[in-house]
Structure 1
Amino acid sequence: MQDSPNPSYTSPHPQELNPQDITWPFWFLVPIYPYGQRKTLLREVVKGEVWIFEQLQGIFYVVVPIRMTVVRLEEGGLLVYAPVAPTRECLQGVRQLEAQYGSVKYIIMPTISGIEHKVFVGPFARHFPTAQIYVAPNQWSFPVNLPLSWLGLPPRRTHILPPDSREAPFAGQFDYAILDTIELGPGRFSEVVFLDRRSRTLLVTDSLVSIPQDPPEILQLNPYPLLFHARDSAFDPLQDTPQNRRQGWQRITLFAFYFQPSTLEVAPWSSVLREAVKAPERSKKAYFGLFPFRWKPNWQESFNQLHGGGQLRVAPILQTLILNRAPQAVLNWADQVARWSFDQIIPCHLTAPIAATPWEFRQAFNFLQGHSSGLPDADMAFMRRLDQGLAQRGITPPPKV
């Protein structure tokens, strides 16, 4: 696998945008950054065939891209995989594609557990009243398991994906593989990956990512989260330089993947509060000067191992808390996908597109067969302690690998 080129963004008419164009009024359903203001970037990744729409999401400025993919149908019209927030700006981009290639015919909800993906499907679908919605089987909600119509999905247009992709109305162009539902005690996990045979593109949700060395384009539009995490203490000024943007991004990825990487220490709150009072920036935007993070000198080495040259990765939380509960089912699913022919992968997060082969896709799941994941034991230690604690308390079933 090699790093993919980064085609130019083609976000529609940015000079005409105003705050209302990027407003998402229902942000309180998933109250995470950037809350009610969600900028969208549109990029064409296969000319006249495949487009991606990117927004941001995160907590405490640990922000990553979240992505929707739109594919042109051979029969005319569009298929949408994993919708994002339907802001005016986002919808404007889709309408431009509709004007050229036909209306949105199918909307896919490819997960049963990712609230950050599921929450947008109903609101997005209401803007396309003739589109049919297809969702992964065995949907559930927490704390009460509600019917899909109560979650905002139009009942007359919403269908469960058939187990056999040959029975779907878009079977002439797409294959899909449904990962068997993994029972996790308080919840479930499943994912549906789609293959667009026409463009040889594999669409995945959360199962795989590739981590870039530099911050994705959408984070560059408002670099404050990058600069916030580039600091070493609350007393450091926020200086906007390419080096600081990169440093902030690399630390953000360590947070996002490990929660508590070995190269990070959390300062005592007594010290954090004393520093906050004296910090030069104490606005609400800067969390009132609170900055509890202390990075060890070797944090860069930790990131380099996580980056791994941009190779395909299964996130540590999936490795240690989810996929290892049903290793054989996951491997069977991965084997099915690896029999397809594709040249690139578009996940819903981080780098896209990723130039990758079916063999590389399959290799990413070898940790389920006892092989090393290539991630340092020290960095994985927190996730493994969390895994053991949940299993010992009977909250989740014990792992099978």
Structure 2
Amino acid sequence: MWRQLYDNGGSPKRGTSLSRREWWNTNLLQLSVGGLLSTWVPEHAHAAPITTPYLMEEYFQPPNTAADQGRFYFPTLTPPFAKRATYQYTLGRNAWALEQLLTFANVSATIRCNVVQLESTGGLWVHSPHWPTGEFCYLLDQLQGDVEHIVLPCNALEHKAPMKAFIQKYPKAQVWISPGQRQHGPTTKLGQEFDMATLYVDIPENAGPVSEVAFCHKPTKTLVATDAVVYIPTEAPNIFTTYFDTDTVRDDPTFWPKTVLQAVFLPLRTNDDNNYPGFGAIENRLVRAPILRAFADARAPNAVKDWVAKIATQFDFDRIITSHFASPIAATPQDFASCFSYLTPITGNSNSNDKLPPIACQDWELLEGLNQVIAENKLGAPATFDYKKDCQ
């Protein structure tokens, strides 16, 4: 049984039932997307103040691996197409991350399946599962809980491509999907342990839907996000050494900055010291990925703003776990909202990002050029919002 995910009162715009072919296909705007819903964060939004988000100690603990259980899965729709490693991290509070690597041409990034053990049943809630290699399934099964719920939280290709294969491995689990995809069964709220906030915008002119469901696990005060925000660590995660030369990953000072900039679609611009200013603007901070600002937020600013407002005003959390780059992140609801301050300035408390350098205007040129190509060739809806706000 497949169930559609909506928070209370949420409903999709336009049709939500897609054909099998549409369900597996995606386009530029669907490669990575973050969340939705409509009042910005008021000054008194939440008791938790704006702080400085940071990576919690669990991120720095060594991972568990099981290469002897098998790293091959075929066929896959996302590269690498041969062997792919899985690293398991303990996130604390009865949560874990199972990490694999994505390698699209010159774009490489981590992708994490986050797993939460439910207090009510002891079963496992699996968020955005990956390709079920022998190693992946072994590390998941070692958590000593039955897989009870499988969640597809957005319509980005890298998240939905492994779903069918994973569900076949765990056929007894209840499957939940974000709006804009295949719909079977009633639209219901996911249990009592989670609050949900749903972003769904069906952008016109063949641009496709933007969809993400964010979850707050109330017993552990954890926000589970997919693409909504990211935290860029200073060094490359360990799993990169399973695909790239170890000496290059560890000793080449340009490897990680270039990898990050290519993943978020910022140019490889260097300054007089041969540093990458674009990397410096997003390193060691909680941010909205630039590619999502330029493609999703630029076309649906009000919907994204409303979604962020709901998360910031109605969710109670003190940490965030995400599907890309690094987590868990110590952060409050206001810290989350401050990542979107370019949509509408937040009054009252100062923004934790104000002290950090903004992305330079010239570093938006690549994404701006892609938006111009989309508009000039009528490949999709044009941008309607200045996502480069406050750049220098």
1:236 corresponding residue in structure 2:
none
Task: Tell me the secondary structure at the aligned position of residue 46 of structure 1.
Answer: coil
Q: Does 2:180 match 1:138?
A: yes
Give the match for residue 208 of structure 1.
Answer: 229
- Write the deviation string for residues 330-368 of structure 1: whole angstroms up to 9, x where unpaired: 111100001211111111100111111110100111222
Same amino acid, percent of matched pairs: 29
1: CA distance between counterparts of 2:190 and 2:295? 35
Compare the two structures and name the one with the higher helix fraction.
1
- Cα distance in 2, alignment partners of residues 365 and 107 from structure 1: 29
* Aligned: 1:92 with 2:177: no
Query: How much has 1:159 moved relative to structure 2?
Result: 4.8
Does the CA contact (< 8 Å) of 2:180 and 2:200 recur in 1? no
- Going from structure 1 to structure 2, the CA distance change for 1:255 and 1:59 (only over 3 Å counts) comes to same
Equivalent residue number for residue 151 of structure 1: none
SS of 1:368's equivalent in the other structure is: coil
Instruction: Provide the C-alpha distance between the structure 2 equivalents of 1:159 and 1:11, rounded to a whole number of angstroms.
Output: 37
Q: Tell me the distance in 2 between the aligned counterparts of 1:131 and 1:51.
A: 18
In structure 1, C-alpha distance between the alignment counterparts of 2:303 and 2:249, rounded to whole Å: 46
For residue 196 of structure 2, what is the aligned residue in structure 1?
Answer: 176
After superposition, give the CA deviation of every residue in 1:304-354 in whole Å (9 maximum; x if it has no partner).
Answer: 1231xx222111211112222111111111000012111111111001111
Are 2:194 and 2:215, in contact at CA under 8 Å, matched by a contact in 1? yes
Aligned twin of 1:11: 64
In structure 2, the partner of 1:243 is: 251
Q: Distance in 2 between matches of 1:51 and 1:11?
A: 11
Where do 1:1-400 residues align within 5 Å? 1-5=53-57, 6-12=59-65, 14=66, 17-18=67-68, 21-27=70-76, 29-30=77-78, 32=79, 34-47=80-93, 49-76=94-121, 77-97=123-143, 99=144, 102-112=145-155, 114-139=156-181, 159=185, 162=187, 167-170=188-191, 172-183=192-203, 185-186=205-206, 187-224=208-245, 240=248, 242-244=250-252, 246-258=253-265, 260-263=267-270, 297-307=273-283, 310-339=284-313, 340-369=315-344, 374-400=358-384
The CA distance in 1 between the partners of 2:345 and 2:203, in whole Å, is: 21
Partners of 2:153 and 2:209 lie apart in 1 by 14
Residue 292 of structure 1 is matched in structure 2 by: none
TM-score w.r.t. length of structure 2? 0.76
> Are residues 184 and 83 of structure 1, via their aligned partners in 2, closer, same or farther at CA, if it must alter by over 3 Å?
farther
**Cα drift, residue 382 of structure 1:** 1.3
Structure of higher RCO (CA pairs closer than 8 Å, 6+ residues apart):
2
TM-score w.r.t. structure 1 length? 0.74
- Note the residue ranges of structure 2 that are not aligned, 5 or more in a row: 1-52, 347-353, 386-392
My pick for the range that moved more, 384-393 or 333-342, is 384-393
- Cα offset, 1:299, TM superposition: 3.5
Structure of larger gyration radius: 1
Against the structure 1 CA distance between its residues 159 and 26, is the aligned structure 2 distance closer, same or farther, given a 3 Å change threshold? farther
Contact 1:210-1:351 within 8 A present in 2 as well: yes
RMSD: 2.4
Shift of 1:7: 4.2
Tell whether the 8 Å contact from 2:205 to 2:379 is kept in structure 1 after alignment: yes
SS at match of 2:205: coil
Residues 243-278 of structure 1: CA deviation (Å, up to 9, x unaligned): 31x431111111222253444xxxxxxxxxxxxxxx
User: Equivalents in 1 of 2:127, 2:139: separation in Å?
Assistant: 15
Distance 1:254-1:115 versus aligned 2 partners, 3 A rule:
same
* Runs of at least 5 residues in structure 1 that lack an aligned partner in the other structure: 140-146, 149-157, 228-238, 264-294
Deviation of the 1:296 alpha carbon: 7.4
Paired residues of 2:268 and 2:276 also in contact (CA < 8 A): no
Aligned partners of 1:184 and 1:96: how far apart in 2?
45
CA distance in 1, matches of 2:115, 2:249: 34
Count of residue correspondences: 320
The SS at the match of 1:395 is coil
Give the AA of the match of 2:234: Q
Task: Give the Cα separation in 2 of the matches to 1:368 and 1:169.
Answer: 29
Contact 1:177/1:193 (8 A) holds in 2: yes
CA 1:241–1:324 in structure 2 vs 1: closer, same or farther (change >3 Å)?
closer
Cα shift readout 1:43-70 (whole Å, capped 9, x = no counterpart): 11114x1000000012235321100011
